Structure 1
Amino acid sequence: MATKTEARATGQRILQSFLSAGAQEIQPDILQPAEVLLDLYGEDIRARAYVTHDPGQGEMMLRPDFTVPVVQAHMAGGAEPARYCYLGEVFRRQDHLGSARAVEYQQVGYEVFDREDPETADAEVFALFNGLLSRLGLTATIGDFGILRAAVDGLDTMPARKAALSRHIWRPARFQKLLQRYAGLVPVPETRRETLGGMRSEAPWIGLRSSGEMELRISVLKEEAEAAPISRSDVEKLDALFALNCAAADAPAALRALDIPAIAPAIERLENRLAALKARRIDLGALRFDASHGRSTMEYYDGFVFSFATENPDMPPVATGGRYDALTRILGQGAEIPAVGGVIRPGVLADLEAGR
């Protein structure tokens, strides 16, 4: 495993490449306010963050990632367009992986904030990373959450169901359970049927929600239970979409063959992105397209996603990234800007370069 000195040296080399590409170096604090950030990272990172309490500043966390604090800094007054780069430590618990992964490791990254054509910016970031990593023979994979969200939004069902499915796109098991339930393919639990049927306990309300909030939730659940099920055909199409994995060159045709009208505009954006990648000499036949790529990572990605990885499932990806337009809207206090970026793990890269 690469030493901190080796990882830092590799990171500095990559950082210089990002600086040469026109990025401005930025260095967010290691200790970050936790109140806002924890809600943005998603369940996986929230469970793995190191959180502490400061008497003066309240709940704080060790930086688990750079993107969110970089967005905060930019939305607080950064010039546009902007390109940022950074190098430093991040901290994440690795309890689920035992002692095989370091809880403190380095990231070197590149972020683009630009109102010009988003697909061109996507291609810029991906091609930059590809140029730095192509000699290592890694598997490069792309995906697009915009396609998945468009398919869910196009379902013929009530808005509350579509909203719930959209919230759980990043939780595949939960998403599938909800989809099966909304399609009437699994029974409603007995306790829920009793509640929706009008039975009430004399026990007092407990928990943080008020009785009014609970009553509203019960009414929504009752409306869901009485709504017509999602059609078996739509379920099969969604299942086929989420399972799609092919060469990127074949993806538009494969997606159109699924006959999901709602994703047509998203397919056009994918074609524009692929054309921009091809213009930067990316081999679309070797590049993989996985429709579900990135579904178990951070929830702030809302469009294009990518990774570069080895064939070793025990090794983390060498690089990951994607588009996070909605994050700028959340942190922008009324302002927003299209944004895309990615990170490389210099320690993993140093190991590969050394043949470890």
Structure 2
Amino acid sequence: MASKAQTLAQAERLFAFCRNSGAQPVQTAVLQPAETLLDLYGEDIRARAYVTSDPLRGEQMLRPDFTVPVVQMHMDDGGDPARYTYMGEVFRRQERDPNRPNEYIQVGYELFGGDDPAAADAEVFALFSEMLSPFGLRAATGDIGLLLAAVQGLATTDKRKAALTRHIWRPRRFRALLERFGGRSPVPESRKRLLADLDRHGVQAVLDAAGPEIGLRSRDDVAARLAALQADAAEPPISVAQVELLEDILSLRETSLNALAHLRDIAVDMPAIAPALDRMQARLDALAAQGIDVDLLDFEASYGRTTMEYYDGFVFGFYAEGRPDLPPVASGGRYDALTRILGRGRAVPAVGGVVRPELVLTLTEETAQ
């Protein structure tokens, strides 16, 4: 295993590569305000981050990644376009796998602004592809924007679409909701009884019979939830055809050009995804212009669904196929919506990625053997 000094030396080399590619070096605080991250990710982030408390600054988190603070910095006073690079430690709690590090170094490259998102996506991907070219890694790509568009194209209520959208990054929960909204999963007996009581007696009577209020939710909160359950139960299920189209998209794994052709066929019956496919075509053209062989570039429609939840467009990762035990050596994607949230309504196009120096060092040592 490489020492920390060796990893830092490798990080410096990667950092220099990014600087030489035109990026401005920046740094962010190791301690980040917990409020910002909780607003973005909800309480789930506590399971993945180290939380501490400061008597003056309130709850703080050890930096789980760089993207959020770099976006905040740029939205406060950055120019357009702008390219940044950074190097430093990030911290992630590991509750299941003791072999995964809870502290490691990242080197990143972020591109903000510009008037050609496809070209920006291609620039960032090509930078990491060139950086990692000595190792023969497999590149995987996806598009969260395609999945978001597919959900928005479903013929169902806005509330159902909002619930599915919220859980795009939680595949098991998303699957359970899709099964429920599609009428495939049986309604639990307890919910059947509750809905029957609501139909017979109404929300207020059911609440009155429930006993004293316990917990943080107010009576109004619970009443709103009961009314929402009742309204949803009255809605027809999402059609079998639309559920199958969405499942077809989610399961798609092909080379990029073949994937695009298949998705064009799906778009005949799901036209809401057509703009996302036009963006995908533009991105593939831009990647080809950067020298990327798009004929061999893998596309996985569900790729990126278990990463940080701010990605909302193109996503990518680089993997050592001979080392399936290793996480992605580098990964990244587009996160326009995050700039809108942290920019208080002002948004700019943004895409970036990170590389793990200790993994690059591992591959360097293996290549030399």
Question: Runs of 4+ in structure 1 displaced over 3 angstroms?
Answer: 41-46
Asked if structure 1 preserves the Cα contact closer than 8 Å seen for 2:37 and 2:45, the reply is no
Give 1:352's aligned amino acid: L
Give 2:27's aligned amino acid: Q
What's the offset of the Cα at 1:34? 0.8
Work out the CA distance in 2 between the residues paired with 1:305 and 1:46: 24
Identity of aligned residues (%): 56
The answer on 1:222 being equivalent to 2:233 is: no
Query: Where does residue 220 of structure 2 map in the other structure?
Result: 212
What's the offset of the Cα at 1:202? 3.1
Secondary structure of residue in 1 paired with 2:295: coil
Alignment of 1:134-213 (within 5 A): 134-199=133-198, 200=206, 201-213=209-221
The answer on 1:328 being equivalent to 2:335 is: no
Work out the CA distance in 1 between the residues paired with 2:347 and 2:114: 10
Work out the CA distance in 1 between the residues paired with 2:281 and 2:241: 26
The answer on 1:275 being equivalent to 2:285 is: yes
Q: For residues 39 and 3 of structure 1, do their structure 2 counterparts lie closer, same or farther at Cα, with a shift above 3 Å needed?
A: farther
Work out the CA distance in 2 between the residues paired with 1:28 and 1:287: 34
* Deviation by residue 1:91-127 (Cα, 9 ceiling, x = unmatched): 11122112x1221110000001113111110000000
Give 2:244's aligned amino acid: E
What's the offset of the Cα at 1:301? 0.4
Work out the CA distance in 2 between the residues paired with 1:298 and 1:79: 25
What's the offset of the Cα at 1:190? 1.7
Secondary structure of residue in 1 paired with 2:197: coil
Work out the CA distance in 2 between the residues paired with 1:45 and 1:243: 27
Asked if structure 2 preserves the Cα contact closer than 8 Å seen for 1:45 and 1:92, the reply is no
What's the offset of the Cα at 1:170? 0.6
Give 2:218's aligned amino acid: S
Query: Where does residue 233 of structure 1 map in the other structure?
Result: 241
* Deviation by residue 1:122-156 (Cα, 9 ceiling, x = unmatched): 00000000001122011101100111011110101
What's the offset of the Cα at 1:175? 0.7
What's the offset of the Cα at 1:70? 0.4
Query: Where does residue 299 of structure 1 map in the other structure?
Result: 309
What is the aligned counterpart of 2:252 among 237, 244, 247? Answer: 244
Question: What is the RMSD of the two structures over their aligned residues, measured on CA atoms?
Answer: 1.4
Secondary structure of residue in 2 paired with 1:355: helix
Secondary structure of residue in 2 paired with 1:83: strand
The answer on 1:96 being equivalent to 2:104 is: no
Q: For residues 242 and 333 of structure 1, do their structure 2 counterparts lie closer, same or farther at Cα, with a shift above 3 Å needed?
A: same
Give 2:122's aligned amino acid: A
Gaps of 5+ in 1: none
After superposing the two structures, state which structure 1 stretch, 271-280 or 245-254, moved more.
Answer: 245-254
Normalised TM-score (structure 2): 0.93
Aligned length, in residue pairs: 355
The answer on 1:315 being equivalent to 2:314 is: no
